[in-house]
């Protein structure tokens, strides 16, 4: 793998990380803390939505983002020929 393609690989990888961590920040901090009062007006399965995001939603989203990251990285590895 050439030095230029290594830099491009890591640049794309960091871009993926920035996007996924931004989504997690949005769900865990913004929805779970900052917008909790507005979201509590909506019910989800009998629970207030703000409470759900603060207690469960951010963990579920984090686990989902892990699987999304794995899928994205597998595609990126194949693109740059570093897959196993």
* Residue 8 lies in domain: 3-79
pLDDT at 53: 82
pLDDT, tens digit, for every residue of 4-59? 999 999 999 999 999 999 999 999 889 888 988 998 999 878 888 888 888 888 89
Record the pTM.
Answer: 0.82
Q: Is the residue at 84 inside a domain?
A: no
Q: Is the residue at 30 inside a domain?
A: yes
| Structural domains of the chain, count | 1
Q: Is the residue at 33 inside a domain?
A: yes
SS3 sequence of the chain:
CCHHHHHHHHHHHHHHHHHHHHHHHHHHHHHHHHCHHHHCCCEECCEEHHHHHHHHHHHHHHHHHHHHHHHHHHHHHHHHCCCC
């Amino acid at each position: 793998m050439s030095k230029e393609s290594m830099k491009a690989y890591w640049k794309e990888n960091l871009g993926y990380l920035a996007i996924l961590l931004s989504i997690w920040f949005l769900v865990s901090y913004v929805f779970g803390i900052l917008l909790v009062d507005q979201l509590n007006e909506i019910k989800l399965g009998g629970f207030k939505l703000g409470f759900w995001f603060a207690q469960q939603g951010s963990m579920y989203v984090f686990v989902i983002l892990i699987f999304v990251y794995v899928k994205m990285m597998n595609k990126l590895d194949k693109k740059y020929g570093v897959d196993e």
